Amino acid sequence: MVYGAAGAGTRAMTSSSSPGFSLMQEGMSYIAAAELPCLVVNVTRGGPGLGTIQPSQGDYFQAVKGGGHGDYKLIVLAPASVQEMVDSVFDGFRLAEKYRNPALILADGALGQMMEKVELPAEGSLPHETPSWATTGKSKDREQNVVTSLFIQPEKMEGINTHLQAKYTAMQSEVRYEETMVEDAEILVVAFGLSARICMKVVDLAREKGIKLGLLRPITLFPFPVARLFELSDRIKKMIVVEMNAGQMVEDVRLSTNGKSVVEFYGRMGGMIPTPEEILHKIETDLI
C-alpha cells in the first residue's frame, strides 16, 4: 500500500516492529528499486524469531545493509529521544524525497514507549509537491508514467544499479552524528539510539573517576560516519562500541577505523538493557 500511495505521488509511511518489518522486506526492496520516497519506522524488539517485546537493537544489520534482496540501501535515522523521534519523521521525509529513496527510523521498544516533552515543527515547514514521475493519470501532454522495478535486460539493470550506488555515495554528505567530550578523549564510546543515551551517563561516571572518555553517537546509521571515525582513530587508539545486540555496528566501526584503533565491544541481547555501571566496568577492565 505504501508502494502504491508513494508511487501515486503522496507522502506515505508505515511502522512496525521487528518481525513485522521482516515481512516488509520484499516491499522495501521493490520500493528502493522503484525509487519511491517513503518513511518506515521499525521499533525494534528482541529477536531472533518471535523473540520478546522488550527493546533491542538487533535489527541494525537488517536496517543498514539492505534487509531484502538485491543491492540497495535505506536512509537510516537512529533517534535517541522522543524529540528526535519527531524530528526524524520530518528529516526522514526530507531526505527520502531529496534522494527518491525509502528512509527508515530505527528506534527500539523503550524509545517507542517513552514520554517526553516535544516541540513540533511549525505547520507547513515541509511543503510537498506531487512529483512529475508519479502515476496520477496520464494527461494528454505527457507520456505514460510507469513505476516499476523490473528491468529485464542485464545492461539496463546494471545501469539502474550504477545509478543507485551513485545515489548512495552522494548520500555521504548527509552524515549526522553527535559528539560528547571527544576533544580530549583517550577512549571513545560509539553507540546509537538508546545505547548512546545510556552511554552519556557512562561518560559522566568515567569523567568523575578521571577517565577521559568521549562519546560519538551516529544519528544516521546509513550513511555512516566513516570519515569522522577514520579521522578520530588517528588520535584515539581505544574504542568501544556499545549496542543492545550481539555486535553489529561494531563491524562498521572496525571497517571505518581500518585497524588503526583497538575496537572493543559490549552488548546485551534479547531485550536486556545495559546499565551505565556495567558498561563502565567493562571499560575499566578491558581498556585501561
Partner 1 sequence: MEKTLVSPECLVYDNHPETLTGTPFHYCPGCGHGVVHKVLMEVIGELGIQEETIGVAPVGCSVFAYHYMNVDMQEAAHGRASAVATGIKRVRPDKYVFSYQGDGDLAAIGTAETIHTVNRGENILVVFVNNAIYGMTGGQMAPTTLIGMKTSTSPYGRESATMGSPLKITELIANLPGAYYVARHAVHSPKYVRMLKKALTKAFEYQKLNRGTCFIEVVSNCPSGWKLTPVQTVGFIEENMLPYFPLGEIKVPDEKTGISTLVKNN
Binding site for partner 1 (CB under 8 A): 1-10, 12, 26-27, 30, 34, 135-140, 144-150
Provide, rounded to whole angstroms, the least separation between the CB of residue 10 and partner 1: 4
Closest CB to partner 1 among residues 150, 288:
150
Closest CB to partner 1 among residues 8, 226:
8
- CA-to-CA dists, residue 7 to 3, 40, 143, 196, 220, angstroms: 6, 15, 16, 36, 25
Which is nearest to 267 in space by CA: 219, 195, 204, 206?
Answer: 195
Provide, rounded to whole angstroms, the least separation between the CB of residue 173 and partner 1: 31
Torsion of CA 159, 160, 161, 166, to 10 degrees: 90
Torsion of CA 31, 36, 37, 43, to 10 degrees: -10
Closest CB to partner 1 among residues 133, 230:
133
Closest CB to partner 1 among residues 139, 173:
139
Provide, rounded to whole angstroms, the least separation between the CB of residue 170 and partner 1: 26
Task: Give yes or no for a contact between 67 and 40, defined as CB atoms under 8 angstroms apart.
Answer: no
Going by their DSSP bridges, the two strands 213-218 and 238-243 should be labelled as unpaired
Residue 154's Cβ-count burial label (10 Å; 0-12, 13-18, 19+) is: exposed
Provide, rounded to whole angstroms, the least separation between the CB of residue 151 and partner 1: 10
Closest CB to partner 1 among residues 30, 177:
30
Closest CB to partner 1 among residues 123, 143:
143
* Separation between Cα atoms, residue 89 and residue 93, nearest integer Å: 6
Provide, rounded to whole angstroms, the least separation between the CB of residue 24 and partner 1: 11
Which is nearest to 241 in space by CA: 260, 215, 259, 219?
Answer: 215
What nine digits make up the cell of 115?
A: 514520554
Closest CB to partner 1 among residues 24, 262:
24
Provide, rounded to whole angstroms, the least separation between the CB of residue 25 and partner 1: 11
Provide, rounded to whole angstroms, the least separation between the CB of residue 3 and partner 1: 5
